[in-house]
Amino acid sequence: MAKTTSTPYRRENGFGRRKRRTRQHVIADQSVNHVERFIIDEGHTTLRVEKGYGYDLILYTHDEQGYAEPGIVSLQLKAAESLKPIGAGYPFDLDIRDYNLWMLEEFPVILILYDASRRRAYWLDVQNYFTEEPSRRPDKGAKSIRVHVLRRQVVNRRGIAKMRALKWERRTRLTGE
């Protein structure tokens, strides 16, 4: 009788141990695909960041005639099989290192939570979240800070249009134009 193992392969196939695509890999790819479809439908483009250390996608916007616009929106995606709501939103513990980087950015940084079971995503303008309510800022020495992404902040065409508007607001603040 053959001994069974918990390895992700059967020994009798002759291939030996190999890397395995997990469910987490699948839902991470689904989250990127979900967001990119709305970005494309709005007439914009993205760049997938392979080694971004805090960013997964860069959103490049275009005007109604298709001309590229200045500035970017940085997107960080977090995918889960199922998001568990608390009140009006979804909690997420943000790594303090991401917080420290994102708060220094001049253009918007958007955190997106993807719920694979519902095939829906929700977004948060990280900088505004902390600047509008200073009590949300992390304590000194914290390793993470909890944010709440509202259920009404759905990633859809309207959400992408709002992200574009945020970029223009920041650009106006920076340039005075």
Judge whether 90 lies within some domain. yes
Judge whether 100 lies within some domain. yes
Distance separating alpha carbons of residues 142 and 102, to the nearest angstrom: 16
Model confidence over 8-58: pLDDT tens digits?
A: 555 556 678 889 999 999 999 999 999 999 999 999 999 999 887 889 999
Judge whether 48 lies within some domain. yes
Longest dimension (CA), the chain: 77
The confidence score (pLDDT) of residue 11 equals 55
Tokens representing residue 161 in the block:
């249009």
Q: What is the span of the domain harbouring residue 86?
A: 20-175
* Residue 127, helix vs strand vs coil: helix
Distance separating alpha carbons of residues 11 and 6, to the nearest angstrom: 11
CATH number of the domain bearing residue 73: 3.40.1350.10
Distance separating alpha carbons of residues 109 and 38, to the nearest angstrom: 17
Judge whether 14 lies within some domain. no
Judge whether 145 lies within some domain. yes
Judge whether 121 lies within some domain. yes
Taken as a whole, the chain contains a residue count of 177
Model confidence over 134-164: pLDDT tens digits?
A: 999 999 999 999 999 999 999 999 999 999 9
The confidence score (pLDDT) of residue 1 equals 52
Summarize the confidence of residues 121-128 as an average pLDDT. 98
Asked whether 9 and 17 are in contact (CB, 8 A), the reply is yes
Q: Which residues pair with 46 in a beta bridge?
A: 59
Q: Who's near 63: CB < 8 A, 6+ residues apart?
A: 69
Query: Which residue's entry shows tokens 């190999």?
Result: 18
Model confidence over 62-91: pLDDT tens digits?
A: 999 999 999 999 999 999 999 999 999 999
The tally of domains found in the chain comes to 1
Judge whether 122 lies within some domain. yes
The confidence score (pLDDT) of residue 176 equals 84
Judge whether 12 lies within some domain. no
